[in-house]
Amino acid sequence: MGMRPGKDVRVTLLAILIAVCSPGGLAHAATPGEHAGHAGQAQRADQLEHVEPGGHVDQAGHADQPEHVDQTGHAEHPPELPNLIHLLYKALGGEAADTAPPAWIVLCYRFQDVFYALLVALIIIVIVRWGTRRMEQIPGPVQNVVEFFIEGFHSFILGILGPGGERYVPFLGTLFLYIWFMNLFGLVPLMKSPTAGLNTTAALAISVFLYVQWTGMRHLGPIRYVKHLAGDPQDVVGWCMVPLMLPLHVISELAKPVSLALRLFGNILGEDVLIGVFAGLGIAVLAFVHSPVGVPLHLPFILLALLMSTVQALVFTLLSAIYIMQMLPHDEVGRETDAVAAAAVDGARTAGTDLTLSGSHTSLGGR
C-alpha cells in the first residue's frame, strides 16, 4: 500500500504511549501538601460525627449537605461493578480506618486506569503478533480475522480520505482498535474500562489533536498553516474578516479534543454505571431470601453496551479522520477527488460502450 513499516510502527507506538500515559492521573499522586489536606479532611470527618444525619460542618461551622469521602481523600465512586484492583485494595485494608494497605496496591488503585490501559495494549499486541507470526498463502483462523479487519478498515478510511489516505490508516486503525478494546474491557468480569475515566479519554483526544496539527503543519507549511487558521482569505473582504475568523478557528480547533474526550467518557461511564445499578438492583430483589445470586436485570444493558462501545469507538475514529481531512490542503483533496470521479466516469463509459457493442451484435444476429 506504499507505507513505510518503520514509520508506521513509530506512529502506532506513539499513539499508544500518549493514550496510556494520561497526564491527569499524575494528579492523584501524593504530595507533601496533600497530606496536610488529608489531615484537614480527617478533622472535618470527625466533625461530621457530631452533626445530625443529612448535614455536615463547613469551614465556617455551618451545617449543610452530607459529604462522603473515602480514606484516600477522594469522593465516593459511581456505582460500577467492582474490578480486581478495587477488590484487592479493599481486602488489604484500603478502606479500613485502622489499617494501612501496602504501598503497591495503593499505587495500583490510584493509577488503575493506566494499569488497565497498558493491559489492553499488551493484549492487542499479543493478538496481532499471534495472528501475523506465520503469514501463509492460505490464512488460518486468526490470520483471517486480522486480515479481514485490516482490509475492511483500510477501505473505510480510503472512502473518507480518498486514495491519499493510506498513510493515515496505521494511526486511525490503532486508535479504533485500542478504543474498542478498552470500551469492551469493562464487560469482562473483574476488569474495568479505562475509557470510563476522563484522564484516558483526554489523553486519546490530545493525541488526535497533536497528530492533526502536525499533519497540517507538515502538508501546509507554517505560513499556509496560519493562513488556514485565518480562514484562507483570498480577497479584501477575506482579509478584513481575519481578526474574526482566526480566533473562531483557533477556538474550534481547541474544542475538538474537548468534545472527543467528553463524548467518549460520558457514554462509557454511563454504560458502566447503568450496568452496576441494575446489577445491584437484581441482588436487592432476592435479598430477603438471602440468595447468593440475584436476578440478572443488567443483562439487556450488557448487550446494549456491546453495541454502544463499538459505535463510540467508530465515532471517535470517524471524527478523527474528518479532522485530518479538514487539515489537508484543499487542492490535494480536490485532485484526489477528481481522480476518483474521473475513474468512475471512465468505468461508466467503458461499461456503456460494452453494452452498446453487445446490443449491436445482438441486433446483427437477429437480422
Q: What is the pLDDT of residue 330?
A: 60
Q: What is the pLDDT of residue 194?
A: 94
State the DSSP string of 348-366. Answer: HHHHHHHHHHHHHHHHHHH
Three-state secondary structure string covering 277-291: HHHHHHHHHCHHHCC
Contact 47, 57 (CB under 8 A): yes
Q: How far apart are CA 121 and CA 112, in angstroms?
A: 14
Name the residue ranges covered by the structural domains of the chain. Answer: 116-329
Q: Which residues pair with 63 in a beta bridge?
A: 57
* Residue 173 burial (10 A CB sphere; 0-12, 13-18, 19+): buried
CB under 8 Å to 322, separation ≥6 — which residues?
160
Q: What is the pLDDT of residue 287?
A: 80
Q: What is the pLDDT of residue 264?
A: 96
For the chain, the straight-line distance linking the first and the last C-alpha, in angstroms and rounded, comes to: 51
Contact 116, 195 (CB under 8 A): no
What are the mean pLDDT values of the chain's consecutive 10-residue runs (367 residues total)?
A: 46 50 42 41 43 44 44 58 89 81 90 94 90 76 81 88 86 94 93 93 96 91 87 86 89 94 95 90 83 83 93 95 86 47 46 44 43
Q: What is the pLDDT of residue 76?
A: 60
Q: What is the pLDDT of residue 99?
A: 81
